[in-house]
Amino acid sequence: MKIKAGIVGATGYAGAELVRLLFNHPEAEIAAISSVSFEGQKLSDVYPSYSFLNDMVCENQDAVVEKSDVIFAALPHGLSQELAEKCISAGKAFIDLGADFRLESEEEYTEWYGGTFIDKELHAQSVYGLPEFFRDKIKGKKLIANPGCYTTCSPLAIAPAIANGLISTKGIICDCKSGVTGAGRKPTQGSHFPELNEGFHAYKVASHRHTPRDRTDPFKAQRRGCYHHLRSAPSAR
């Protein structure tokens, strides 16, 4: 029997890509999708190329929770905590593509995202979903925080070098590149086509929100309680 998956925020870039991935997953079927901006409309109304892939109608969050075994939240940070509580209370699994459960420390979450932990016990149940490092911890869990882009590529690149003693743990610079879709669908000057076409620029150098996990995860993978000196230098194109 296939796992019934639901996607909240299916019309954003991350949500739409997740629809494509789950559609091709041999052990999952999409039970429901939702969108606040496009509720009542078909996904193909937003993405015409999806007309032959998935032409489901966007419903509301409650419908997704009711129809699904596992709910994916593709929402901006700050919007997933209440939904997670609803899913866990209903006995469903919850995977957050946003940042609400990525940091273990509420102090760090407040520093980097300006929010607070609404339910500390709920956060205590969550596990960080980078399987290359934490596969055993993820198994059987109901509340999983999906890693972001830089918090995937940077630790996975650094950890083998640290484990084999190939680099110093001081002065590490992660020079990362990403596409502008990582900024989401909401247009800004920095993501505007005329500003980016044929262009390339650095942003949030040493102040990107993924920095806290980048600093610690390569060492957690080696079961070493260290905190290395890392500076992120992300760039967008």
Q: Is 115 exposed, middle or buried (0-12, 13-18, 19+ CB in 10 A)?
A: middle
Could you give the CA distance from residue 180 to residue 124 in angstroms, rounded to a whole number? 33
Q: Examine the fold and report which residue of 101, 129, 145 is the final residue of a domain before the chain moves on.
A: 145
Do 105 and 172 lie in one domain? The reply is no
pLDDT > 90? residue 77: no
Do 121 and 56 lie in one domain? The reply is yes
Do 69 and 175 lie in one domain? The reply is no
Do 37 and 55 lie in one domain? The reply is yes
Do 94 and 174 lie in one domain? The reply is no
DSSP state of 176: -
pLDDT at 173: 79
Coil, strand or helix: which one is 122?
helix
Burial 151-176 (b: 16+ CB within 10 A, else e): bbbbbbebbeebeeeeeebeebebeb
Could you tell me what percent of the chain has a pLDDT over 70?
A: 84
Q: Examine the fold and report which residue of 102, 123, 145 is the final residue of a domain before the chain moves on.
A: 145
Could you give the CA distance from residue 131 to residue 139 in angstroms, rounded to a whole number? 9
Check if 58 is active-site.
no
Q: In this structure, what CATH number is given to the domain that contains residue 205?
A: 3.30.360.10
pLDDT at 208: 58
Angstrom CA distances, 148 to 16, 105, 172, 184, stand at 16, 17, 19, 13
pLDDT in tens, 12-65: 999 999 999 999 999 999 999 999 999 999 999 999 999 888 889 999 999 999
Do 139 and 157 lie in one domain? The reply is no
Do 87 and 165 lie in one domain? The reply is no
pLDDT category at 3 given cuts 50, 70, 90 is very high
Question: Which residue of the set 58, 87, 149, 174 is catalytic?
Answer: 149
pLDDT at 224: 41
**Domains identified in the chain, total number:** 2
Tokens found for residue 57: 């109608």
Do 58 and 175 lie in one domain? The reply is no
Tell which residue, 58, 48, 3, 61, has the closest CA to residue 27. 3
Do 25 and 113 lie in one domain? The reply is yes
Give residue 182's domain range: 150-236
Q: In this structure, what CATH number is given to the domain that contains residue 104?
A: 3.40.50.720
Instruction: Output the pTM of the full model.
Output: 0.83
Q: For all residues of the chain together, what is the average pLDDT?
A: 84
Q: Examine the fold and report which residue of 90, 122, 145 is the final residue of a domain before the chain moves on.
A: 145
pLDDT in tens, 143-189: 999 998 888 888 888 888 888 889 888 878 778 787 777 667 777 77
